């Protein structure tokens, strides 16, 4: 069941309702699955079905007679039917599902002697942990929905969504937060991807671009099993844009990052920044950045997309005026422009930085 819980965590990280399932025989894992109907565009892509498919393929047999399936949530009617068809010997589930559960909650498919002569059912194993994963997920999603609905402040602009989908630009939407103290209601756009127990990397763009320019780096870090947080500074990317340039100061931006890390409960992370950000922002505690990203980011149409008119450009105008200072970093590498380069860069950086200690954010 612990293994199934880890799979549920993977589903949550992908934005799916967190349910995980494992098929086991004689102590050996034959199949595993996490809930993925949204990502796979498949209403049948429940964790149980995925795990059954993998186990049946591995055994070369559509009957799984001596197998036990562990799943974090009581199976629905579809999965219960699939489990009976597979003649699984035993189904062990975690939390009860009062709205759709078909193993006793709404109906009990397994108790019908006309349908079932094969499958034993056991419920409530690690029920509290299994239910907590779901509760955390739905709680986070409610917060997220409230943030997305945040009204725009009078003294700010918000780039229309269509600007991010123009000219073949595929600029995915991440998360939003508005209730950090320094934001005072402005809506900050950021990404927070990967398992929350993994080492976190904070990616900061410069005063020209946006987190979109760091997408290859983000993808490579995620593929390497890391957690990635990337921010669109206020005034940039998908974040709200104050109309007046004086809103912007390096200290204010630095403070927002500290508050975001606190909000995300990240106490230690790798500090990765483009040169243009490192030169003006307050450095992390200890004064040393982890990774300086050199050269321009791959932006193309994304360079101008967030700024449909001059009124949106108060952020870049302010940044261009700030004094620049030398800043030191432990590792240097160009902003990757494609997946292969990013993978190589991340491999090298992780090898070099991996043994070191992650720096706490300033003031933590």
Mask for 234-253, x = binds Zn ion (CB under 5 A): --------------------
Which residues touch 165 (CB under 8 Å, ≥6 apart)?
171
355 Cβ contact partners less than 8 Å away, ≥ 6 residues apart:
none
Closest to Zn ion by CB, 76 or 269: 76
Among positions 68-97, residues that touch Zn ion (CB under 5 A) are 76, 79
Do residues 270 and 358 lie in contact, with contact meaning Cβ atoms separated by under 8 Å?
A: yes
Closer to Zn ion at the Cβ: 99 or 162?
A: 99
Residue 46 binds to Zn ion (criterion: CB under 5 A): yes
> Which residues are 328's β-sheet partners?
288
19 forms part of the interface with Zn ion (CB under 5 A): no
Q: How far is the CB of 71 from Zn ion (least distance, A)?
A: 8
Is residue 278 at the binding interface for Zn ion, with CB under 5 A as the rule? no
Is 19 or 214 the residue whose CB approaches Zn ion more closely? Answer: 19
Whole-number Å distance between alpha carbons of 171 and 85: 43
Q: Which residue is nearest to Zn ion (CB)?
A: 79
Q: How far is the CB of 102 from Zn ion (least distance, A)?
A: 8
Nearest-approach distance from CB 48 to Zn ion, in angstroms? 6
Tell whether residue 109 is a contact of Zn ion (CB under 5 A). no
Half-sphere exposure of 225 (CA within 13 A, CB side): 5
Stretch that binds Zn ion, among 46-54, 142-150, 195-203, 326-334 (CB under 5 A): 46-54
C-alpha span between 108 and 104 (Å, rounded): 4
**Cα 31 to the center of its chain, rounded Å:** 25
48 is an active site residue: yes
Question: Of the candidates 343, 317, 346, 321, which has an alpha carbon nearest to the alpha carbon of residue 331?
Answer: 346
Q: What does the alpha-carbon distance between residue 125 and residue 135 come to, in Å, rounded to a whole number? A: 17
Size of residue set near Zn ion by CB under 5 A: 3
Check: CB of residue 299 under 8 Å from CB of residue 213: yes
Site string for Zn ion, 280-319 (x = CB under 5 A): ----------------------------------------
C-beta of 76 vs 278, nearer to Zn ion = 76
> Are residues 34 and 50 in contact, defined by beta-carbon separation less than 8 angstroms?
yes
53 near Zn ion, rule: CB under 5 A: no
Give me the catalytic one of 16, 32, 48, 193.
48
Identify which of residues 99 and 357 has a Cβ nearer to Zn ion in the complex. Answer: 99
The secondary element (H helix, E strand) that includes residue 73 is: strand 68-73
Q: How far is the CB of 60 from Zn ion (least distance, A)?
A: 24
The edge-to-edge listing of strands for the beta sheet with 68-73 is: 28-34, 20-25, 68-73, 90-95, 120-122
Q: Which stretch binds Zn ion (CB under 5 A): 40-48, 252-260, 291-299, 315-323?
A: 40-48
Alpha helices by DSSP H, listed for the chain, are 2-13, 47-59, 77-85, 127-148, 215-223, 250-263, 275-278, 314-321, 339-353
Name the residue nearer to Zn ion (CB basis): 45 or 180.
45
Residue numbers at the binding site for Zn ion (CB under 5 A): 46, 76, 79
Tell me the catalytic residues. Answer: 48
């Amino acid at each position: 069941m612990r293994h199934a819980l880890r799979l549920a965590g993977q589903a949550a990280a992908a934005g799916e309702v967190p349910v995980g399932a494992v098929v086991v025989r004689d102590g050996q894992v034959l199949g595993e699955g996490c809930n993925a109907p949204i990502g796979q565009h498949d209403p049948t892509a429940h964790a149980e079905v995925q795990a059954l498919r993998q186990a049946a393929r591995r055994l070369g047999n559509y009957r799984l007679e001596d197998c036990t399936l562990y799943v974090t949530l009581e199976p629905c009617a579809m999965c219960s039917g699939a489990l009976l068809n597979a003649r699984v010997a035993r189904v062990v589930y975690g939390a009860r599902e009062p709205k759709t559960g078909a193993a006793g909650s709404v109906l009990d498919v397994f108790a019908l002697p006309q349908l079932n002569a094969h499958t034993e059912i056991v419920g409530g194993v690690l029920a509290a942990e299994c239910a907590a994963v779901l509760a955390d997920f739905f709680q986070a999603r409610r917060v997220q929905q409230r943030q997305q609905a945040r009204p725009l402040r009078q003294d700010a602009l918000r780039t229309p969504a269509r600007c991010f989908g123009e000219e073949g630009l595929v600029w995915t939407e991440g998360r939003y937060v508005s209730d950090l103290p320094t934001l005072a209601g402005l809506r900050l756009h950021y990404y927070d991807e990967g398992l929350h127990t993994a080492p976190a990397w904070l990616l900061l763009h410069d005063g020209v671009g946006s987190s979109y320019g760091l997408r290859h780096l983000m993808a490579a870090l995620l593929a390497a099993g890391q957690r990635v947080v990337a921010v669109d500074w206020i005034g940039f990317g998908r974040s709200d844009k104050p109309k007046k340039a004086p809103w912007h100061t390096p200290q204010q931006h630095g403070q927002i990052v500290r508050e975001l890390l606190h909000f995300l409960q990240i106490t230690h992370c790798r500090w990765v920044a483009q040169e243009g950000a490192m030169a003006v922002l307050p450095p992390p505690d200890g004064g040393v950045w982890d990774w300086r990203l050199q050269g321009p980011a791959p932006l193309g149409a994304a360079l101008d997309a967030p700024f449909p008119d001059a009124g949106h450009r108060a952020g870049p105008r302010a940044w261009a005026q700030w004094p620049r200072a030398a800043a030191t970093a432990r590792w240097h590498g160009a902003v990757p422009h494609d997946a292969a380069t990013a993978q190589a860069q991340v491999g090298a950086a992780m090898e070099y930085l991996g043994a070191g200690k992650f720096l706490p954010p300033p003031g933590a």
